[in-house]
Amino acid sequence: MIRTDYVRKVKNSLFSIPFSLPPVLALLLLSLLFQSPRPLHAEEKQPVATKTSDSSKTTEGLLASTEQMIEHLILQIERQRESTPETEELSDNPRPTSFFASIPNIKPLSGSISSKFGIRVHPIYNVPLFHSGIDFAAAEGSRVHSTGDGIVAFSGYDRGYGQKITINHGYGYKTIYGHLSKALVRQGQRVKRGDIIALSGNTGVSTGPHLHYEVRKNNLLVNPTAYFFDDANPDKFITTKDASAEESGNNS
């Protein structure tokens, strides 16, 4: 590029020289200048093409790496969404009511139990999995009651549970209500035993309208049916499974 500019400047300067130069010398110089661009252009053409090609390859490489970074970030975000609820769950109930008022000792609704606590063949995955709670048969829109006094630790959408409510009763007790069609309480709200907290539904991983109900004691899953009959002696309830069992997705 520098040589081409130089030649151009030389040509302009020569054309500006008075025609007092001898004709033969003038013709000789002009013929040399008009012949020189061809080899000069030929010499310059290859590097320019090479630079253009290299630049194109570099640009394509940057675009490809940027696309890969974006795809990787999207994948990370999607995985995070799948592995965490939409909002953080409250970890504690700082001011629980009395011990016996807090124990979850009633049925959350009046429907019959359609699926028991423990190992069962999953209705969707068709393999034996641990069922982390019990299911109540219920028409969509049935009223769901809090089974004990407590504070709403979570109210929102959470993976296979669908629309879900978690109540922290204090004294190590939590209850979970899944596959709801509508939540009627918000996070942080205090509720009493028997309060209507939601309407049953068919959200999340579910084969039909029902309520999935769990009881946890010190973050261990327990059989909720044990609490329906004898709340006067809560120590008799045997913890059966670590709460990590929910990772199996068998909460439908």
Question: Residues 35-73: pLDDT tens digits?
Answer: 544 444 444 455 555 555 666 667 777 766 766 766 666
* pTM exceeding the 0.75 threshold for the entire prediction: no
Helices (H), the chain: 2-15, 23-35, 37-83, 99-102
- CA quadruple 35, 37, 43, 48: dihedral, nearest 10: -160
pLDDT of residue 19: 45
Single-letter amino acid, residue 223:
N
Instruction: For domain 99-248, give the fold.
Output: Glucose Permease (Domain IIA) (2.70.70)
Tokens of 1: 């590029």
**pLDDT above 70 (res 9):** no
Count CB neighbours of 184 within 10 A.
Answer: 16
Q: How far is CA 66 from each of CA 72, 151, 180, 185, 196, rounded to the nearest angstrom? A: 10, 46, 41, 44, 51
- Helices (H) and strands (E) counted in the chain, each on its own, are 4, 13
- What average pLDDT does the segment 156-173 reach? 96
pLDDT of residue 56: 65
Beta strand 173-183 pairing with 196-200: antiparallel
pLDDT digits (tens, 9 = 90+) for 207-249: 899 999 999 999 999 999 998 865 444 444 444 556 554 444 5
pLDDT of residue 91: 84
Residue with more model confidence, 19 or 186: 186
Q: Where are the domains of the chain?
A: 2-82, 99-248
Mean of all residue pLDDT scores within the chain: 76
- What average pLDDT does the segment 164-178 reach? 97
Q: Which helix (H) or strand (E) holds 215?
A: strand 210-217
pLDDT of residue 126: 75
DSSP structure class, residue 125: T
Asked if 202 and 181 count as a contact pair (C-beta separation under 8 A), the reply is yes
Could you tell me how far CA 42 lies from the centroid of its own chain? 57
- Least confident stretch, 66-70, 114-118, 160-164, 240-244: 240-244
